[in-house]
A and B are shown apart, each in its own frame.
Chain A
Amino acid sequence: MSNPAGKITLNGREVPYYDGDSLLETARRQGIDIPSFCYHSELSVYGACRLCLVEVEGRGLMASCSTSPEAGMAVRTDGRRLRRLRRTILELLLANHRLDCATCSKGTACRLHELCQRLGVRESSLGQRQEDVPLDQSGLSLVRDPNKCILCGDCVRMCREVQGLGVLDFAYRGSRTTVIPAFGRDLAEVDCVNCGQCAAVCPTAAITVRSDVEPVWEALHDPELVVVAQLAPAVRVALGEVFGLPAGEDGTGLVVTALRRVGFDRVYDTVFTADLTTVEEAHEFQGRLERGGPFPHLTSCCPAWVKYCEQYFPEFLGNLSTCKSPQQMLGALVKKLTHDAESPRVRVVSIMPCSAKKFEAHRPEHAGDVDWVLSTVEAAQLIREAGIVFSELEPEAADNPLGMTTGGGVIFGASGGVTEAVLRVALDAAGLPQPPQLEFQALRGEERVRETEVRAGDAVLKLAVVHGLGAAGEVLRGIREGRLNYHLIEVMACPGGCIGGAGQPRGNRGDRSARQRGLYRIDRSLQLRIASHNPFVRELYGSHLGHPGSDQAHALLHTHYAPRQRLVGKDAHPILEAPAGALSISVCVGTGCYLRGAHTVLEGLLKGVREAGLEDKVSISATFCLENCDRGVSVRAGDTILTGVAPASPRELVRTIVEPRLAPERSRA
């Protein structure tokens, strides 16, 4: 901490303040927690809840979150006027809040509940909520309950400022103000990537992670079923918090025991498939180094990031690692390999720190591999509901072979971990020296974008670790514009990586760094720290997969991606319709493309296709923005997006765009 910038009088006591701090932060340093809903250290100052008002001598009541201390200022954080104000504000919020606290999924984690208790609000005489707005349960990951929203805007700012998305925003005004996706649509209909950070910052139950506890109980209670759990890296350092363990303490063994007691037939560790992912991805990266690209290699274990990339940066889909995420690898291994024989009776339940994993499990290309995803908090709910006294458990080990772990897989849970794990494997495979204690300190930390260069033999690898999708978007734009270049970029959507996921118990920045340290401690404590040294991973290759990157490995452990329109709905306006199975060509007529002659291209293609007599083989449509606005006219032909298509003669357009993609016999004919 730098030197104090000056002193103010706080409740009669002279206290120092520091540059950049607000009055609220100054008071918190002094152990006074001024109540607030909308103040959030990682978001911009909003100043709307008015709970944090303090009395500044000579100036009256001021919001402490947005007021900077000035030398000599005399501030009172309490008093009759302030107490009445704060209580009335809480009463006003209660008057517009659906009060079903006993059955509310937020339980006592609700900040409104907490502050009412803390400030001694004992009645709400100012009115009762009349409206009953239907819940938005459209999404696989999140549920919105507008009846619980206090309009603090934390979610809006999180989504816009940290994630760079702006899926949610305020709409309407006055007492009709609401926080809602564009056009009042449901979450599933808009560009939400399911990261759930909105839910993570929501002080009430207005946005929560969708609960899948019920179907999991049903499965556990069905004697016919073999129910398998997998435990994600970041869960082990956070689940215990629900039961009073300090953040970051290793709870792996306790959670395994608890899950067995709850009734899971097998408890596996997602760290095992994190190791497997590392090996596959290191191999893939190695291959790109040998082939000379495509760079940057983009990691693919974060499902929110993958969806983001599909929506906003489809031109980088070829850069995404084709490796499935550890969750999906484990699901695939269980269903298609280890429990193949009893597959119809096997159910896989993932315990994840994440809301987006729920969406990922339902992606059609993974369908059926993972049946349900529980968040860390839901898993704790399962344990609590079963009456298990967590603090009295003895730790147990996960089931092998899918329970064997190395440190490389463990640190997947912290931003930078995937890169570090991959580097360990890559250097190990190449026989190159590792850093001291196998630790790449430059990849660790809390900055949104961390970059480093690693010498690997003769090559110098430029690497970047990014967390938060807003930062990821910035980096990708930099690459798109040629300002930046890297060999590998690791992206995690949530602050700090999975340890800060939306499925974790409510945590602040301090809790996040404790969890991060916890993972690195576990890494250090393990005998094996290089993923490729995992004996069961090796055995898996020996017995089934052959070698990393083999056809078998690809069939089981790799996936593919498709561009997603930013806006939902059928994206194209058919102009020339051909029977199903025809080559589909869409020409972007968005602003950028339009100005560069999209219509000429469209007309040329139509003419060319007709002239060539290909009407029954090609369908042509106009589409709305393929997200490559800066690259000239974009055309999607089949699965490929072509950018920078210049208006040309109809024949030429057909020759370059259509013919190479037609079925061979046709193009020959």
Chain B
Amino acid sequence: MTQLVQTQPLGKIERLNQIIARYGGKVSNLVPILQDVQAEYRYLPEEAMSYVANALDISPSAVFGVATFYSQFTMSPRGRYVIKVCDGTACHVRGSERVSFAVREAVGLKPDGPGTTPDLKFTVERVACVGACGLAPVVMVNDREVYGELTPEEATALMRRLADETGPAPDAATPLGGAVDEQVSGAPMPAVGPYIRSRAGLDRAMERFRAAVIGQKVRLLVCMETACVANGAREVYAALRDALDARGLRAELDILAERRASPAGTVPPAISPCGRPQPAGPGEAGLIKAGCHGYCQIGPLVVLEPGRIVYAKVRPEDAVEIVAETVERGQIVTRLLHREPGDAQPVLDEPNIAFYRPQNKIALATCGRLDSEDIREYLAFGGYAALGRALFELTPEQVIAEVSASGLRGRGGGGFPTGTKWAACRKATGSPKYIVCNADEGDPGAFMDRSLLEGDPHRVLEGIALAGYAVGAEEAYVYVRAEYPLAVRRLRRAIKQGVAYGLLGERILGSDFSLQVHIKEGAGAFVCGEETALLASIEGQRGMPRPRPPFPATSGLWGQPTVINNVETLACVPFIVHEGARAFRQFGTEKSPGTKTFALAGQVARTGLIEIAMGTPLRQVVFDIGGGMRRPRPFKAVQIGGPSGGCLTTQHLDLPLDYESLKAAGAMVGSGGLVVVDDGTCMVEMARYFMNFVQEESCGKCVPCREGTRRMLELLDKMTAGRADLGDLERLESLATVVTDGSLCGLGKTASNPVVTTLRYFRDEYLAHIRDKRCPAGVCRDLLDFRILAERCNGCGACVKVCATQAITGERRQPHVIDPARCTRCGACVDRCKFEAITRSIDDGEVGS
């Protein structure tokens, strides 16, 4: 092996040396080093891994161990187009499997063969979740373009289009957001030293930027989050920019800030919820690349401030009219307003849109309302005021006391009281101490953390700074999952700005408090959301959890006292410190105060990112915010908390969503994925889906999780295939207990939850699969038999066209037949048939679509 210099030109060694040098030759940077090496070669050649091992003075087996642990790394060359078919929960219940089938078929890959075509044109991979659940099912091309709401036919067409494309290979490293992103300036960087050096300086800066925002007669907030971008937000932004520039209307924040005086203490009209856009003159219209607005489904979204007027499904062609009517004349373009389903009347603004009405926003308060790449906007909205207050008015103990009094609990799943954690870390002996922000949002069906990091990174950073001040840490790490390249980029920019503005880094605001914030990118491992695994990953090792105690608060990163908080938890902190614990407690319940964000997805009419008071009843979420079912089929269940959570059913519709109530029901808040399913979803299959996920993401360390989940998956496979007996059900339940009791970390301890809750609430469905070999929802393929009812078939041939395996034949205008030997039971024909002529079941025709 390792004839590095034989197989690689010396120039490549030079590249490797540069990469290693860039990361200081530190073992803790092994993951980013390998990421860069992979970017260079498009895979990890053995020689390069050996070289890295040698340079870092670790054994090659350790490098190999890390490289094979994270799913981002690949040991064989990948194709020109890397197609990631999302199989997150939302995509799964909306038919991602068929999309995957179609994609593979279209590029000539077998359904279960290797993922790269022999000509190295395509690599097709399954990915746990790209966080675009509102647009399910989605595929991502080269980590850059997201294509949403795909039908199998559209997926096939997309592949054909890519196959025909020639020219230089697209750069997989270019992050989401693309060309338009690059043109947005962001905040100007001061040439020397931090821009703000004192509390008074902070107040002055906030005042100046607030004034600058006031100067904008209208602000056009174009949502540039993944879902809206997938729907064409980038093009809308470009069109608006061109239209504004053609008339010289676009505002430059900086110039305004210098020019205008500030009426002290007033809330800028441009950011007040009341009021209406005013006609804007030259240089008075703000065009902002904003973060997630939540209501992904009606994107691309353009929100107008003041007034929070919502233009839905905006097309680039609308730009000229928006500029002419709204910007120049202050008039609303009625045809762009959102209409509630089944309601012809347009709805003017956010407060009147059913999706937004019941929500309360703390963590997401300014998400989607400002340019997340410009620190001045966050300052204009009062950002970093909490940090200023803490540094100059409060002792660290007082900050902890305030957070404790607020009752804030970990939003990442565990629900551990944040104040208690901080206090333990503050008390712990050992220096240095660390803050770790857990942004490894791996739950399929959850994208809250990503939206926050992309839409309002400074709020999270302010939370991190407050945590650092409270516990006495001088270094912080943000661990972001690999699938979020845009979040990483925004965060990196935000940190740079924070340091330049004196709000992070050395001697913040001239105080004695310093905090260096680093970003660590994950590399594709769900288990790294577990705190001890996350620490191992930051240290450059395989992300394997270790037993607790000792807890990270006393012995965490490199054995030092460490606070690990999730993104949303930290995003709540500035509000608490600034507004006080009581203000926080006005939302939520006694034991679960505050608000919680959820990613609402699945078979619900309205999907997106929401933030509601803790304790809001499930019914309100599903039916008021979500607008009920998407298809004319009854509500069946919600899966909450992802693979660690459980399902809730009709009997839980009045259950308040808070830590205790959910736990009692066998589910958990988890990170906040909330996937609604109707009766077209098989609960056994869904349990199998989650078990498959956990099984693939298990780190493999402890026996109960590694072996137990594998055997549970085998049993569930047997059930959905109609090969199980009642003894298998018993074994499944017994294993569920052992996996829960015995597993080393939270991933394993909660891995059985989906099985346990579906067994509890849908036992009949299990029995139907086991005893009757029947899938009541008509989902489990092996239990289905597709037939065409001759009396309903008029021989239109639509089904023939969608059948990927040519299983359907028949004369034109004559009843067709399905060849069971060729039929893959994908169900495409059923969806396509307008005459309900195709049935799925052996014994009865009732379960047709």
Chain A residues with CB under 8 Å of chain B are 45, 47-50, 53, 61, 63, 65-68, 81, 84-85, 88-89, 92-93, 95-96, 125-127, 150-151, 153, 160, 165-177, 180-185, 189-191, 566-573, 589-591, 594-595, 599, 621-625
Report if A567-B60 is in contact (Cβ < 8 Å); known contacts: A85-B741, A591-B20.
Answer: yes
A586 nearest CB neighbor, chain B only: B5
Q: Of the 9-residue stretches B46-54, B109-117, B567-575, B796-804, which lies at the interface with chain A?
A: B46-54
Contact of B49 among A96, A183, A570 (CB under 8 A): A183
Q: Is B595 at the interface (CB under 8 A from chain A)?
A: no
Residues of A close to B13: CB separation below 8 A? 589, 594
Please tell me if the beta carbons of A89 and B59 are within 8 angstroms of each other in the complex.
no
Please tell me if the beta carbons of B744 and A47 are within 8 angstroms of each other in the complex.
yes
The CA of A175 and the CA of B2, in the complex, are separated in Å by: 29
* Interface CB pairs A-B, < 8 A, 28: A47-B546, A61-B741, A67-B547, A85-B742, A88-B738, A89-B742, A95-B707, A95-B711, A126-B707, A126-B711, A126-B735, A151-B701, A170-B542, A170-B544, A170-B700, A173-B68, A173-B69, A173-B698, A182-B50, A182-B64, A183-B49, A572-B5, A589-B10, A589-B13, A594-B14, A622-B10, A624-B50, A624-B54
Please tell me if the beta carbons of A48 and B697 are within 8 angstroms of each other in the complex.
no
Q: Is B731 at the interface (CB under 8 A from chain A)?
A: yes
A45 nearest CB neighbor, chain B only: B547
Residues of A close to B702: CB separation below 8 A? 47-50
Would you give the shortest CB distance from A472 to chain B, in whole angstroms?
Answer: 16
Residues of B close to A180: CB separation below 8 A? 61, 64
Would you give the shortest CB distance from B575 to chain A, in whole angstroms?
Answer: 34
Residues of A close to B63: CB separation below 8 A? 182
Q: Is B525 at the interface (CB under 8 A from chain A)?
A: yes
Residues of B close to A127: CB separation below 8 A? 711, 714
Residues of A close to B697: CB separation below 8 A? 173-174
Q: Is B405 at the interface (CB under 8 A from chain A)?
A: no
Report if A181-B61 is in contact (Cβ < 8 Å); known contacts: A50-B744, A85-B742, A176-B700.
Answer: yes
Residues of B close to A622: CB separation below 8 A? 5, 10
Residues of B close to A45: CB separation below 8 A? 547
The CA of A167 and the CA of B55, in the complex, are separated in Å by: 17
Report if A50-B742 is in contact (Cβ < 8 Å); known contacts: A67-B549, A173-B699, A185-B1.
Answer: yes
Please tell me if the beta carbons of B3 and A594 are within 8 angstroms of each other in the complex.
no
8 A Cβ contacts from B524-558 to A: 525, 527, 542, 544, 546-547, 549
Please tell me if the beta carbons of A573 and B60 are within 8 angstroms of each other in the complex.
no
Residues of A close to B731: CB separation below 8 A? 125-126
B6 nearest CB neighbor, chain A only: A573
Would you give the shortest CB distance from B79 to chain A, in whole angstroms?
Answer: 22
Q: Of residues B1, B17, B714, which shows the largest number of chain A Cβ atoms within 10 Å of its Cβ?
A: B1
Please tell me if the beta carbons of A169 and B55 are within 8 angstroms of each other in the complex.
no
Please tell me if the beta carbons of B2 and A66 are within 8 angstroms of each other in the complex.
no
8 A Cβ contacts from B58-86 to A: 58-65, 68-69
The CA of A81 and the CA of B714, in the complex, are separated in Å by: 24
The CA of A511 and the CA of B273, in the complex, are separated in Å by: 79
The CA of A182 and the CA of B6, in the complex, are separated in Å by: 20
Q: Is B4 at the interface (CB under 8 A from chain A)?
A: yes
Report if A566-B68 is in contact (Cβ < 8 Å); known contacts: A92-B708, A173-B525, A624-B5.
Answer: no
Residues of B close to A84: CB separation below 8 A? 734, 737-738
Q: Of residues B2, B13, B698, B738, which shows the largest number of chain A Cβ atoms within 10 Å of its Cβ?
A: B2
Residues of B close to A175: CB separation below 8 A? 695, 698, 700, 706-707, 709-710
Would you give the shortest CB distance from A105 to chain B, in whole angstroms?
Answer: 24
Q: Is B406 at the interface (CB under 8 A from chain A)?
A: no
Please tell me if the beta carbons of A625 and B706 are within 8 angstroms of each other in the complex.
no
B703 nearest CB neighbor, chain A only: A89
The CA of A61 and the CA of B703, in the complex, are separated in Å by: 15
Would you give the shortest CB distance from A356 to chain B, in whole angstroms?
Answer: 19
The CA of A126 and the CA of B701, in the complex, are separated in Å by: 19
Q: 7 new A-B pairs (CB below 8 Å) besides A172-B68, A174-B698, A189-B1?
A: A49-B702, A85-B741, A166-B62, A170-B69, A174-B699, A181-B61, A182-B49
Report if A173-B542 is in contact (Cβ < 8 Å); known contacts: A47-B547, A85-B742, A594-B13.
Answer: yes
Please tell me if the beta carbons of B1 and A568 are within 8 angstroms of each other in the complex.
yes
Contact of B68 among A63, A88, A171, A599 (CB under 8 A): A171
Contact of B59 among A67, A126, A182 (CB under 8 A): A182
Residues of B close to A185: CB separation below 8 A? 1
Contact of A569 among B2, B14, B51 (CB under 8 A): B2
The CA of A191 and the CA of B707, in the complex, are separated in Å by: 31
Please tell me if the beta carbons of B549 and A183 are within 8 angstroms of each other in the complex.
no
Q: Is B472 at the interface (CB under 8 A from chain A)?
A: no
The CA of A566 and the CA of B707, in the complex, are separated in Å by: 35
Please tell me if the beta carbons of A160 and B59 are within 8 angstroms of each other in the complex.
yes
Q: Is B743 at the interface (CB under 8 A from chain A)?
A: yes
Please tell me if the beta carbons of A50 and B698 are within 8 angstroms of each other in the complex.
no
Please tell me if the beta carbons of A50 and B700 are within 8 angstroms of each other in the complex.
no
Residues of B close to A573: CB separation below 8 A? 3, 5-6
The CA of A570 and the CA of B5, in the complex, are separated in Å by: 10
Please tell me if the beta carbons of B50 and A567 are within 8 angstroms of each other in the complex.
yes
B548 nearest CB neighbor, chain A only: A66
Q: Is B776 at the interface (CB under 8 A from chain A)?
A: no
Residues of A close to B660: CB separation below 8 A? none
Residues of B close to A176: CB separation below 8 A? 700
Would you give the shortest CB distance from B64 to chain A, in whole angstroms?
Answer: 5
Q: Which 10 A-B pairs have the closest CB atoms?
A: A177-B700, A166-B59, A573-B5, A182-B60, A47-B547, A92-B707, A66-B547, A169-B61, A182-B61, A567-B2
Residues of A close to B2: CB separation below 8 A? 567-569, 624
The CA of A384 and the CA of B527, in the complex, are separated in Å by: 50
Would you give the shortest CB distance from A128 to chain B, in whole angstroms?
Answer: 11
Residues of A close to B20: CB separation below 8 A? 591
Q: Of residues B14, B65, B695, which shows the largest number of chain A Cβ atoms within 10 Å of its Cβ?
A: B65
The CA of A595 and the CA of B55, in the complex, are separated in Å by: 12
Please tell me if the beta carbons of A167 and B742 are within 8 angstroms of each other in the complex.
no
Residues of A close to B527: CB separation below 8 A? 173
Contact of B54 among A53, A67, A92, A625 (CB under 8 A): A625
Please tell me if the beta carbons of A594 and B17 are within 8 angstroms of each other in the complex.
yes
The CA of A153 and the CA of B744, in the complex, are separated in Å by: 15
The CA of A177 and the CA of B706, in the complex, are separated in Å by: 9
Please tell me if the beta carbons of A151 and B706 are within 8 angstroms of each other in the complex.
yes
What per-residue 1/0 map shows which CB atoms of B1-31 lie under 8 Å from chain A? 1111110001001100100100001000000
Residues of B close to A572: CB separation below 8 A? 5-6
Would you give the shortest CB distance from B400 to chain A, in whole angstroms?
Answer: 25
Residues of B close to A589: CB separation below 8 A? 5, 10, 13
Would you give the shortest CB distance from B524 to chain A, in whole angstroms?
Answer: 10
Contact of A169 among B46, B49, B65, B700 (CB under 8 A): B65
Residues of B close to A125: CB separation below 8 A? 731
Residues of A close to B17: CB separation below 8 A? 591, 594-595
Contact of A50 among B14, B59, B68, B703 (CB under 8 A): B703
The CA of A85 and the CA of B736, in the complex, are separated in Å by: 11
Would you give the shortest CB distance from A151 to chain B, in whole angstroms?
Answer: 7
Q: Is B624 at the interface (CB under 8 A from chain A)?
A: no
Contact of B61 among A153, A166, A571 (CB under 8 A): A166
8 A Cβ contacts from B698-736 to A: 698-704, 706-711, 714, 731, 734-735
Would you give the shortest CB distance from A587 to chain B, in whole angstroms?
Answer: 10
Report if A183-B5 is in contact (Cβ < 8 Å); known contacts: A47-B546, A48-B703, A173-B698.
Answer: no
Please tell me if the beta carbons of B742 and A93 are within 8 angstroms of each other in the complex.
no
The CA of A189 and the CA of B46, in the complex, are separated in Å by: 14
Would you give the shortest CB distance from A510 to chain B, in whole angstroms?
Answer: 26
A88 nearest CB neighbor, chain B only: B738
Residues of A close to B695: CB separation below 8 A? 174-175
Please tell me if the beta carbons of A623 and B5 are within 8 angstroms of each other in the complex.
yes
Residues of A close to B744: CB separation below 8 A? 47-48, 50, 63
Residues of B close to A182: CB separation below 8 A? 49-50, 53, 59-61, 63-64
Residues of A close to B55: CB separation below 8 A? 590-591
Please tell me if the beta carbons of A151 and B61 are within 8 angstroms of each other in the complex.
no
Residues of A close to B97: CB separation below 8 A? none
